[in-house]
Structures are given as C-alpha cells and as structure tokens.
Amino acid sequence: MIEIDISRARSFVKERAYNDSYEKAKQAFEQVKQRNGAGSEWLGWRTLLSDPNDAILEQLDSLATAIREDADVFIVCGIGGSYLGARAVIDALSPFFGTDGPEILYAGNQMSGQYLDELIGYLEEPNAEGESKSVYLNVISKSGTTLETALSFRILRNWMEDRFDDISERIVCTTSEEGGALNELIKKHGFPKFIIPDDVGGRFSVLTPVGLLPIAVAGIDIRSLFYEAVSKFEALEEDPEPVLEYAAVKHALYEQGKAIDLFTTFEPQLNALSGWLQQLLGESEGKENQGMFPAKATYSTDLHSLGQFVQEGPRNMMETFIQVDSMNEQVEVQAEDEDHDGLNYLEGRSFHDINSRALEGTLQAHHEGGVPCVVLTLDKLNAQHIGEFIYLYELLTAVYCYCLDVNPFNQPGVEFYKKEMYQLLGKQ
C-alpha cells in the first residue's frame, strides 16, 4: 500500500478553502465515474483496469520472453507518452549496472543526429561474446508520423533491413488499430503489432502495450504491475477518499497562488518516474493559463543545488516527497580505528537508514521553512507498488484537473510549435 500524508500541506490551507476544494474534488470524481466531464471520450485508461484483458498480457509476455532470449539490444522508439512510462518503470526496477536480459536503449525521443549516428556505431560493435549484436526494435506511435519517432525509425529500419534477414521478427509496432503509417508497413512486412486503444491518450498509456512490451522485455513482471493497478482501481472506486483529499489540498494550494509543485525522491532510480509525472500532470493541467509547474529533483544530490531555493526562495512552491520505506541493500557503515571523517557514530547503520533520516530532516526543514509538503510512502520498490502508484496518479490527475475546470485529456498547445516547425521545414 502507498500511504499519502497530506498533513504537512493541509496546515497551510484555511479550513474553508480546503472544504471548498474537497467539494470540487468530490464532484470531479463523480464526473470521472459518470463519464460526463470534459474529454470523457479519453477514459480508456480506466476501462483497461475495470475490464482487464488477460489475453493481451499473455501475448506481450510470450513475445517479450522470445525477445529476451535472442536480443542483445532492444530499442524503444517513441516520444512523450510513447516512452516516458516505460522508461519510468524500467529505470525504477532495473539494476544501475547491467541487466540479465537485453540492454534497453531509447531512440526517436529527440532529434540529435549525433546520438543516432553513435547509436548505430554502437549497434555495429560486437557483443560481449564477440558476435554481431542481435537488435530488436519497438516503434510506438499512434499515427506513425510523429516527426522525431518517424525520422529515427526510418533510419533504424533501413539499417536493420541492410543488416538482418528477418526484420519482420525484429521490429514490433505498437500503433492504432487502423490507419496511420505503421499499419501500411505492417501490411508490407508482417511486423508483429500491438494496438494502442483509441480512447487512451499517450500520457495515460503506460498500462497498455505502449508501456508493457518494453517493461516486459526488461524482465519486469507485467502481471504484478498491471493487476496491482487493477486492485488500486477497485479500491479507489470503493473509497476514493485518499485521492479526493490529495486533489483537494493540491487544488487549495494552487488557488492560494502556489506556482510550482516540486516532486522529490531520495532514490536516484526514481528520476524517470518524476519525468513521467511531469508529463502526466504538466500536459494535463497546463492550459487556459492554469496549472502548477511540475518540477523534479533527486535528493539528496539536489539538496546541494536546489535545496537553498526551496528552503529560502519565494514561498510559491509546494513539494511532493516520494519515499520508499525499505530497500534491498547491504551497505553498512563500519567503524574505523582512526575516525578521520568522524563517521564512526554511524557504525552499523545502513545507507538506506541514513538516507531516510535525510528525508525526514529535509521534510521538517522545508515544512518549517514554509513549504507545504505532501508525502507518498511506498513500502518497497517493486512492480506492485509502481503499478499502484501509476493508477493513483492517473486518477489524481483527472480529479485535480476537473477541480481546475480544465480538460485533463487534450493538449491543444502542443500543436503550435509543430505548425511553426512544419512551415519552416516547407511541409505542404
């Protein structure tokens, strides 16, 4: 179970303001449930969980197992919601150094030619056994024409065609059911295909094949991830109170003028999870001149960079701590004869124990310094808890955005730069 403690945030909000926001959150949750709010045609991220399709999990699992057996490298080719969720889960649950399966690399998420150039050079180097690398690629795009992804995919696909005889087994497409550029290629080459449901937007798609195939290839148990999200869905349908309170306090703080919500973790492997949150919240709430900027920091390292600002900068910030209660690690401080660095007083303590005191100390200091703080505590870092975390934040995002009276599911502003860019590129 993930615990949400809003007490250190609620103390900054007047009772009446909180109650008003709480009423809004209650109505907002009803809008989500009754499917009568703005953008309600995009609620497929809930249907996924209310009506789980085990057959798809089975297919994903079996393809992932086959890829894990043969691949040295698995490339995830997608941008925004087409890769941030997978990356968040994979980074959170994979070792820092090496893996027992294929190396997971990313492409099509930016337009650096240098990166693509060097990536191909790396793919052409022999693997650890001195053999030519076995490369698989998963291209993820509803339309197949998102510029960054389509560009990188064209280059990588051509490279793979030159290099491998069996690209029809090496390239997997995750795309819309019908139409779009990838479906044409699938017809031609017979690439395996997974469908992105029409009613699930990119930033809500991590529990569809968009996220689940790369996550399964990384060796993470997608059933545990998925079914714990299902359990969380059911629990919150029954009793949405934790989300209503969280949305209420966040909304009340926004109404009070808070401009930034800083998401902080004390575990470096959760950095990409904050990146997923940035998109989920930022793209959902940042419209009609509204929203709190979702910033991210990884402590304790960023206490030595952004910490000063949080402690004593403008009081326009709230902070959300994502804490992990227990970690699997065996590093303990040992006493030394000569206590040069003065650390002997920590003898026998684990790093996680010390890290947790750093979190507690930071929380106290920032709270006393005038920063409203929400604390989410995960018992452990495993697929179950991450699954729970994902649905929790998806629902929070929808409820909180309805409190702001904005449509959580569109992103009209993203079109502006594209329009300018395509004009500059001379696209007809």
Identify residues 243-272 at the interface with a copy of itself (CB under 8 A): 259-260, 266-269
Which residue is listed with tokens 């970690």?
327
Reference 388, options 235, 214, 276; nearest CA is 235
C-alpha torsion sign, points 215, 218, 223, 228: negative
The minimum distance between CB 292 and a copy of itself, in angstroms, equals: 8
**Amino acid in the structure at residue 62:** S
Please report how many Cα atoms fall inside a 13 Å half-sphere around the Cα of residue 95, on the Cβ side: 9
**Identified binder of a copy of itself from the candidate list 44, 81, 201, 240, rule CB under 8 A:** 81
Determine which one of 418, 419, 420, 427 is catalytic.
418
Burial class (CB in 10 A: 0-12, 13-18, 19+), 199: middle
The minimum distance between CB 175 and a copy of itself, in angstroms, equals: 12
The minimum distance between CB 78 and a copy of itself, in angstroms, equals: 10
Cα-based torsion angle of the residue sequence 387, 48, 64, 198 in order, rounded to the nearest 10 degrees: -130
Largest interatomic CA distance in the chain: 75
The yes or no reply on residue 159 touching a copy of itself (CB under 8 A) is no
What one-character DSSP code corresponds to residue 126?
A: B
Nearer to a copy of itself, 1 or 259 (CB): 259
Mask of contacts with a copy of itself, 83-112, x by CB under 8 A?
-x----------xxxx----------xxxx
The yes or no reply on residue 380 touching a copy of itself (CB under 8 A) is no
The yes or no reply on residue 414 touching a copy of itself (CB under 8 A) is yes
Site for a copy of itself in 28-67 (CB under 8 A): none
Nearer to a copy of itself, 384 or 407 (CB): 407
Site for a copy of itself in 348-367 (CB under 8 A): 349-352, 354-355, 357-358, 360-362, 364-366
Verify cis geometry, omega within 30 degrees of 0, for the bond prior to 50.
no
The minimum distance between CB 219 and a copy of itself, in angstroms, equals: 16
Cα-based torsion angle of the residue sequence 32, 37, 41, 44 in order, rounded to the nearest 10 degrees: -10
Single out the segment in contact with a copy of itself by CB under 8 A; choices: 1-9, 50-58, 210-218, 343-351: 343-351
The yes or no reply on residue 151 touching a copy of itself (CB under 8 A) is yes
- The two beta strands, 293-298 and 317-324, are unpaired
**Identified binder of a copy of itself from the candidate list 36, 121, 165, 348, rule CB under 8 A:** 121
Report the 10 Å Cβ neighbour count for 369: 12
Site for a copy of itself in 175-194 (CB under 8 A): 181, 184-185, 188
Site for a copy of itself in 61-80 (CB under 8 A): 79-80
Q: 127 Cβ partners below 8 Å, 6+ apart?
A: 72, 133, 134
Active site residue 288: no
Report the 10 Å Cβ neighbour count for 327: 16
Q: Which two tokens stand for residue 223?
A: 């059933």
- The two beta strands, 2-5 and 373-378, are antiparallel
Please report how many Cα atoms fall inside a 13 Å half-sphere around the Cα of residue 279, on the Cβ side: 21
> CA 393 to CA 279: how far, in whole Å?
11
Nearer to a copy of itself, 16 or 188 (CB): 188
The minimum distance between CB 280 and a copy of itself, in angstroms, equals: 9
Query: CA 367, 374, 267: angle at the middle one, nearest 5?
Result: 95
The yes or no reply on residue 144 touching a copy of itself (CB under 8 A) is yes
Active site residue 131: no
**Identified binder of a copy of itself from the candidate list 70, 122, 190, 234, rule CB under 8 A:** 122
Nearer to a copy of itself, 29 or 323 (CB): 323
Determine which one of 148, 245, 283, 319 is catalytic.
283
The yes or no reply on residue 1 touching a copy of itself (CB under 8 A) is no
**Identified binder of a copy of itself from the candidate list 50, 301, 325, 405, rule CB under 8 A:** 301
Catalytic residues: 283, 418
